[in-house]
Amino acid sequence: MQNTTTNQQHWQQVQKQAQQIQIWYTKCRGYLLINTGLVVLNLWTSPDSLWFYWPMLGWGIGLFFQAKKAFNWPFFLGKNWEHKKIQRILDQQTQQRQWE
C-alpha cells in the first residue's frame, strides 16, 4: 500500500515538473517573439538610441530563474547538491528499471 502511495506521489511530482517545463517553453516563445518585435521597433523608430536590450535583460533574468525551477537546477551547487544529485540518479535508474 505504501509503495502505491509513493509511486503516485512520484508520478505527481514528475507530472508537475513536466508542466513547469511546458510553461517555460511557452514563455520562451513569447520572449523571442516579443523581443524580436522590440528590436525591430527600436531600430525602426530610433536607431540612434538603443534601448531594446533592457527589457531583454530583465525578462531573460526572469526566464533563467524559471528554468532553474522547471529543470531543478541547483543554485551554484548548493549545500545539498551532492545528495540531491545522487537521489536523482537513483530515481532515474529505478524509473528505467520499471519501464523495462
For 7, phi and psi rounded to 5 degrees? -65, -40
Residues of the domain holding 32: 2-74
- Average pLDDT, stretch 6-14? 87
pLDDT in tens, 82-91: 778 888 888 8
Residue 91 is assigned to a structural domain of this protein: no
Residue 43 is assigned to a structural domain of this protein: yes
Our CA dihedral for 58, 35, 74, 91, rounded to 10 degrees, sits at: 150
Would you say 31 and 60 are in contact if contact means Cβ atoms under 8 Å apart? yes
pLDDT at 87: 87
Q: What angle do CA 93, 96, 100 make, to 5 degrees?
A: 140
Residue 80 is assigned to a structural domain of this protein: no
Residue 83 is assigned to a structural domain of this protein: no
Residue 44 is assigned to a structural domain of this protein: yes
Rounded to two decimals, the pTM is 0.66
* Long-range own/partner contacts, residues 10-15 (CB < 8 A, 24 or more apart): 10/91
The total number of structural domains that make up the chain: 1
Helices (H), the chain: 2-45, 53-70, 81-99
Residue 31 is assigned to a structural domain of this protein: yes
- Average pLDDT, stretch 57-83? 83
Residue 66 is assigned to a structural domain of this protein: yes
As a whole number, the mean pLDDT across the chain is 88
